[in-house]
Amino acid sequence: MSKKSNATQAGPAKVEVGSEIVTVRSNRVVQNNTTGPAEIVICDGKIADILPKRNWARPSGEKILDVGDLVVMPGIIDPHVHIYEPGQPAGEGFTSVTQAAAAGGITTVVDMPLFSSPPTTTLYALEKKLQSAKGKCHIDVAFWGGIIPGNQAELLPMLKAGVPGFQCFLMATGVEDFSHVCLHDIHVAMNELQDTDCVLLFHPEQEPSHSLPVQEDTMEYSTLLDTRPYTMEVEATITIAELCLQYKIPCHIVNLSSAQALPIIKDARQKGAPITIETAHHYLSLASECIPPGGIYYKCCPPIRDKNNQEQLWAALEVGEIDMVVSAHTPCSRDLKDLNNGDFLKAPAGIASLQFGLPLFWTSAKSRGFSFHDLVQLMCKNPAILSRLEDRKGSLGPGMDADLVIWNPEKEFEVNKNIIHHKDKPTPYLGFQLYGEVFATLVRGRLVYLNGKFAPKPEGDLLVTERKMPTRVSSPYY
């Protein structure tokens, strides 16, 4: 370990956070098929070349970051992050979210449409969000749109303006301006979006077809599980799979918590459905048996399920049945959580974890035989494909954005409030011992985070690229 320590101390002395780096050197660079010594040459924010060690240029200069044995890999892409700006000043905004992301080795996040005001369900709302984000982002940010009843005329204009796809809910969201859709609404939207390259994101819960038991002690986590049984996910997944097979529009299931839904998705894929799945760090790291009474910081929807279910999710990751792992970062202020005095049914849902996604995953994954390449597939490459960014992000190679995370997979640390950069500190991970400390993060060659410090000026890009429009005129759905 002394060699790693010396390299870590020697490298940063030559650069300052905020610098434009021209070369990154490491003995452990994770490329497509190998992990080994390499020098990444950067020009104008892009990777110009990746050289083997024998071809490294000499001598070292101030713009060269030599990190010894630290791991260098593509920056993480998190396609499921809730940002409360504009319109929600008490919530977490672009500045704190993107700082926390940078500290966690994340170089791109995709903002969900739900919690801003207005929510991103119209072209006007998207423009307001872009105005709000301008000049505040320490990393790159893309944006999902939303589908609600009656907004089908807004979908193609938002797509043309740069969103890669749209999220919808099959049951009540609890957000006044973001109503859930019925089957008719989805058919109308999917008919409108045929022959585009967009993706539809579905929250996998719908109202159960059977009555739920009467609830008693609402401070017990089992009560929350009783109100959000796995059957709600199974029934929603059946609906999503049928729609995907009918329209052949790429569909993505967010927040998958129940392994009971996996056979439905596997069957739909075998029949030709272009359907992908994500699960979240909390479903892989937390289990219902360990959630204390009144532990409302563990509340999310769908809920965290038992250890046996968690093992099935890990098994599905190992064989490629789950495509990616995300944070589903949904911060909530202590005041709002504590107002409900430990009542699982009244407390708002959401877990803050954005900064700790990499170590959360690696701590559990390394003992299960997952490699650095598996990590890149699940947290870089596949999220880039989902977000329609794979032509520039998610892997290392000439012409790609020089988005890098530099980290020490052997370094253990404790999660405490002093190191959390989210605006709202409450998280179920306080006190966790994790492996995988992030040392530095580069976005398009710029050192945005270095050993606890951030670049003085946020210079992240807002990723809006004009999308393919349908060449046909859509006919009304009846």
**Single pTM value for the model:** 0.93
Q: What is the pLDDT of residue 476?
A: 56
Least confident of 202-206, 255-259, 339-343: 339-343
Beta strands at 324-326 and 275-280: parallel, antiparallel or unpaired:
parallel
Q: What is the pLDDT of residue 214?
A: 60
| pLDDT value at 293 more than 50 | yes
CA-wise closest residue to 252 among 284, 283, 274: 274
pLDDT tens across 355-381, in order? 999 999 999 999 999 999 999 999 999
Q: What is the pLDDT of residue 187?
A: 97
Q: What is the pLDDT of residue 53?
A: 80
Give the contacts of 366 (CB within 8 A, at least 6 positions apart): 409, 435
Give the contacts of 388 (CB within 8 A, at least 6 positions apart): 164, 165, 197, 198, 199, 465, 467
Give the contacts of 368 (CB within 8 A, at least 6 positions apart): 314, 318
Read off the pLDDT of each residue in 41-68 and give the average, rounded to a whole number: 84
CA-wise closest residue to 190 among 423, 474, 434: 474
pLDDT tens across 91-105, in order? 889 999 999 999 999
Least confident of 257-261, 280-284, 350-354, 390-394: 350-354
Q: What is the pLDDT of residue 333?
A: 59
Tell me the C-alpha distance between 11 and 22, whole Å.
14
- Taking residue 140's Cβ as centre, other Cβ atoms within 10 Å add up to 27
| pLDDT value at 206 more than 80 | yes
Q: What is the pLDDT of residue 29?
A: 97
**pLDDT > 70: what percent of the chain?**
90
pLDDT tens across 188-197, in order? 999 999 999 9
Q: What is the pLDDT of residue 54?
A: 73
260 φψ region: left (φ > 0), alpha (ψ -120 to 50), beta (else): alpha
| pLDDT value at 316 more than 50 | yes
Residue 348's Cβ-count burial label (10 Å; 0-12, 13-18, 19+) is middle
